[in-house]
């Protein structure tokens, strides 16, 4: 199998970081800060990024990383840095051999800060670059709703290996999807999934677990024939995508089921396993460049599960131009068979506004 070593590394690194985020959720202090763009970041985001980058650099020292966070806030705040350091030290896989394969514990506070700062690649079309979102959907995470730990390897600008850790999604791939999924799910019994895919090799899910990797099963998008029966997924935040346009598109497609709102790339995972069918992310109106770490892993997983993902105009997503998808507007994901119909209707709705 291609990229076997990269996939195992990504799965174990995302597993360890996902366990770290779960421990933050169940502790009192989440060390929440507000970033310059008004979005929240927690000690979970910093800890997960440091652990994952340390694992990548252990296995593939030459690879670059485009990561969402950096160590700036921790270098300026001793008590926050100490909280993250405690958290990182406490986060180990139960299986010693697995822990060793991702480099074992980070050696020192300085090494932790340096790892965090190594997510500073400018991205690009050449070579091996990892895209990392240590907690995608931080607002969902804080609420006990959906969030995801997201890691993808891009080779020459093409997402090639993708892993999503979703601690609050049900293990059962066919568990019914309704609006309760996005709200206050909390990680309880039967929750926690690792999704993965390698380009050309299909997509899989397995229980998140605590140590060595559990057995995986193949996932695929639902064989939707009647689009009016589709379930569509969208953001919780109305500022991240246009709920009005999305409702309009659903209506034109004859969809009557209410949308399923959830934070993060858990939306990509949910359509890839056939629990939902469509992912609609229409531009919210404000000038916003989508970040590559918010999509790269989910896109490989959906494509390998039998889906297509483009921007809202049907244009291919270009992950090779830097840290953002600046040549694209919005996102549409659907099973291949119905994708042309969905894009046709999305275009109609966008053109009617132009």
Ligand X SMILES: Nc1ncnc2c1ncn2[C@@H]1O[C@H](COP(=O)(O)O)[C@@H](O)[C@H]1OP(=O)(O)O
Which residues belong to the annotated binding site for Mg(2+)?
Answer: 68, 133, 135-136, 294
Block residue for tokens 């996102």: 331
| 151, interface contact from ligand X, Mg ion, none, CB < 5-8 Å by kind | none
Q: In terms of CB distance, is 6 or 136 closer to Mg ion?
A: 136
Q: How far apart are CA 115 and CA 245, in angstroms?
A: 41
Q: How far apart are CA 4 and CA 9, in angstroms?
A: 9
Pick one of 157, 288, 320, 337: the residue that binds ligand X (CB under 6 A): 288
The catalytic position among 21, 45, 231, 277 is 45
Q: In terms of CB distance, is 3 or 288 closer to ligand X?
A: 288
Beta bridge partners of 207: 193
Tokens standing for residue 108: 């020192």
Residues 125, 321 contacting (CB under 8 angstroms): yes
Name the one range near ligand X by CB under 6 A: 21-29, 77-85, 217-225, 284-292. 284-292
Interface with ligand X in residues 52-111 (CB under 6 A): none
Residues 297, 149 contacting (CB under 8 angstroms): no
Q: In terms of CB distance, is 101 or 187 closer to ligand X?
A: 187
| 8, interface contact from ligand X, Mg ion, none, CB < 5-8 Å by kind | none
User: 45 an active-site residue?
Assistant: yes
| Burial letters 288-302, b for 16+ CB under 10 A, else e | eebbbbbbbbbbbbb
Name the one range near ligand X by CB under 6 A: 7-15, 280-288, 297-305, 343-351. 280-288
Q: How far apart are CA 292 and CA 330, in angstroms?
A: 12
Pick one of 23, 29, 32, 39: the residue that binds ligand X (CB under 6 A): 39
Q: How far apart are CA 156 and CA 321, in angstroms?
A: 11
Pick one of 6, 64, 99, 294: the residue that binds ligand X (CB under 6 A): 294
**Binding site, residues?**
68, 133, 135-136, 294
Interface with ligand X in residues 110-139 (CB under 6 A): 136-138
Beta bridge partners of 3: none
240 contacts: CB under 8 Å, gap ≥ 6: 281, 284
Q: Does 28 bind ligand X (CB under 6 A)?
A: no
Helices 339-353/243-252 angle, 10° precision: 130
Site residues (vs Mg ion, CB under 5 A): 39, 68, 133, 135-136, 138, 294
∠ Cα 118 122 123 (to 5°): 105
Which residue's C-beta sits nearest to Mg ion? 136
The catalytic position among 21, 42, 117, 138 is 138
Q: How far apart are CA 48 and CA 220, in angstroms?
A: 28
Q: How far apart are CA 329 and CA 223, in angstroms?
A: 27
CB of 184 to ligand X, least distance (A): 16
Query: Shortest CA distance to 331 belongs to which of 353, 309, 354?
Result: 309
Between 213 and 252, how does the x/- string for binding to ligand X read (CB under 6 A)? ----------------------x-x-xx------------
CB of 290 to Mg ion, least distance (A): 10
Q: In terms of CB distance, is 173 or 234 closer to ligand X?
A: 234
Pick one of 284, 310, 324, 328: the residue that binds ligand X (CB under 6 A): 284
Q: How far apart are CA 218 and CA 195, in angstroms?
A: 10
| Active-site residue set | 45, 138
Residues of the shown chain interacting with ligand X in the complex, contacts defined by CB under 6 A:
37, 39, 136-138, 235, 237, 239-240, 263-264, 284, 286, 288, 294
């Amino acid at each position: 199998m291609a990229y076997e070593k990269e996939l195992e590394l990504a799965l174990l690194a995302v597993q360890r970081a996902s366990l770290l985020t779960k421990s933050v959720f169940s502790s009192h202090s989440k060390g929440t800060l507000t970033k310059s763009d008004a979005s929240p970041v927690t000690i979970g985001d910093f800890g997960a990024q440091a652990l994952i980058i340390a694992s990548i650099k252990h296995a593939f020292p030459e690879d670059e990383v485009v990561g969402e966070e950096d160590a700036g806030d921790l270098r300026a705040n001793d008590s926050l840095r100490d909280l993250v350091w405690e958290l990182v030290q406490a986060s180990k896989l139960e299986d010693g051999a697995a822990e060793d394969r991702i480099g074992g514990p980070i050696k020192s506070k300085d090494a932790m800060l340096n790892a965090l700062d190594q997510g500073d690649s400018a991205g690009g079309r050449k070579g091996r670059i990892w895209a990392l979102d240590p907690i995608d959907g931080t607002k969902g995470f804080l609420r006990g709703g959906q969030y995801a730990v997201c890691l993808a390897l891009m080779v020459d600008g093409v997402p090639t290996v993708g892993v999503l850790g979703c601690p609050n999604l049900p293990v059962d791939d066919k568990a019914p999807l309704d609006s309760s999924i996005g709200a206050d799910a909390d990680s309880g019994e039967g929750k926690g999934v690792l999704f993965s895919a390698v380009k050309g090799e299909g997509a899989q899910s397995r229980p998140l677990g605590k140590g060595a990797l559990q057995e995986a099963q193949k996932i695929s998008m639902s064989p939707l024939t009647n689009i009016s029966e589709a379930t569509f997924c969208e953001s919780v935040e109305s500022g991240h995508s246009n709920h009005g346009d999305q409702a309009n598109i659903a209506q034109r497609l004859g969809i009557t089921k209410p949308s399923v709102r959830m934070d993060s790339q858990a939306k990509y995972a949910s359509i890839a396993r056939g629990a939902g069918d469509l992912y609609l992310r229409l531009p919210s109106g404000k000038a916003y460049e989508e970040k590559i770490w918010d999509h790269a892993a989910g896109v490989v997983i959906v494509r390998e599960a039998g889906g297509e993902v483009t921007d809202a105009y049907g244009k291919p997503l270009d992950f090779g131009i830097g840290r953002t998808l600046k040549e694209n507007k919005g996102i549409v994901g659907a099973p291949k068979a119905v994708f042309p119909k969905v894009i046709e209707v999305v275009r109609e709705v966008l053109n009617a506004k132009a």
